[in-house]
Amino acid sequence: MRLSPRHPRYASLRVRARLADAHRRGLVVPEGLIAHGRGETFDYLLGERTSPSARRAEHVAAEWLLAARHPVVSVNGNVGALAAGEIAALARAIPGLAVEVNLFHRTGPRAAAVARALRTAGVPRVLGVRPTATIPRLPSDRARVDRRGIARADVCLVPLEDGDRAEALRALGKRVISIDLNPLSRTSRAADLPIVDEVQRALREIARAAGVRRARSTPPRMPPFDRRAALADALETIARELSRAAARGPIGRPRRRASRRRSRGIGGRSRRTL
């Protein structure tokens, strides 16, 4: 189907079409499509832009990744489909960043497809296609990791992670940086540094901030991060967007006088509908 650029949700429709295509090519599983929809609603409620609070988190994330001895970014099917280019740019901006494929619904061909998408986007070395280590006490395939990557990492960037693994990584003493649009998810709540932002926007900002940081002469360090405040900020942003949206009201005139008040929310389409 051809998408019209005049559709009020054109940008979302394009991303959806891209994911549906990645699904047909075997990168993304049905559960990944459903997860994308969940994130879409949160992004919509967050105003579909990086909040000042998220931007601050992204800058601290850049600093942590630069200061780490063994930084790693974990890539699943949705990240491979949506942000392979951004992962490649991040790997260029953070020297020593390991890039590892890690799938909840793992099959050999799927792991290979995600690795291929990353290599095509310019990632020189992709770990995790043939796992060589295991995270203890984690029942899903997400436990299967690479000895040279997640297994030995001190700082893990986990975009679109599931809650079980975020908790398991943290229990191993690793610092967990999550990228998750849901500020209420177990992943966001378990992460040391929860970034509540869309994955492409977040990865780009981390890479940009890392470039800026490296130009400075002082060595990077691991500044503290107030995760409670970051989660609270995201929820406040949602509450603010909701009350703004609430003012729009119904479309079109009431058919009969259903209420005494006249509908004020006339004005046809709005770009801000989901």
The residue ranges that bind its own copies (CB under 8 A) are 1, 4, 8, 16, 19-20, 23-24, 29-31, 33-42, 105, 139-140, 163, 167, 170, 175, 182, 184-186, 189-190, 192, 194, 224-229, 231-232, 235, 238-239, 242-243, 245-246, 248-252, 254-259, 261, 263, 265, 269, 272-274
Lookup result for tokens 């991060």: 225
Q: How far is the CB of 219 from its own copies (least distance, A)?
A: 18
Q: How far is the CB of 236 from its own copies (least distance, A)?
A: 8
Residue 236's contacts (CB-CB under 8 Å, 6 or more residues apart) are: none
Look up residue 171 and give its amino acid. A
Rounded CA separation 260/12 (Å):
37
With respect to its own copies, which residue has the nearer C-beta, 217 or 253?
253
Question: What is the H or E stretch that residue 127 is in?
Answer: strand 126-127
Q: How far is the CB of 133 from its own copies (least distance, A)?
A: 22
Q: How far is the CB of 91 from its own copies (least distance, A)?
A: 25
**Minimal CA–CA distance to 50: which of 196, 177, 150?**
196
For residue 63, give the DSSP letter: H
Rounded CA separation 268/252 (Å):
7
With respect to its own copies, which residue has the nearer C-beta, 131 or 194?
194
Residue 39 token pair: 């994130």
With respect to its own copies, which residue has the nearer C-beta, 65 or 126?
65
Rounded CA separation 244/226 (Å):
27
With respect to its own copies, which residue has the nearer C-beta, 137 or 147?
137
With respect to its own copies, which residue has the nearer C-beta, 127 or 189?
189
Q: How far is the CB of 124 from its own copies (least distance, A)?
A: 31
Residue 44 token pair: 């919509």
With respect to its own copies, which residue has the nearer C-beta, 128 or 194?
194
**C-alpha distances out from residue 8 to 11, 48, 215, Å:** 8, 14, 41
Q: How far is the CB of 80 from its own copies (least distance, A)?
A: 16
Rounded CA separation 219/145 (Å):
30
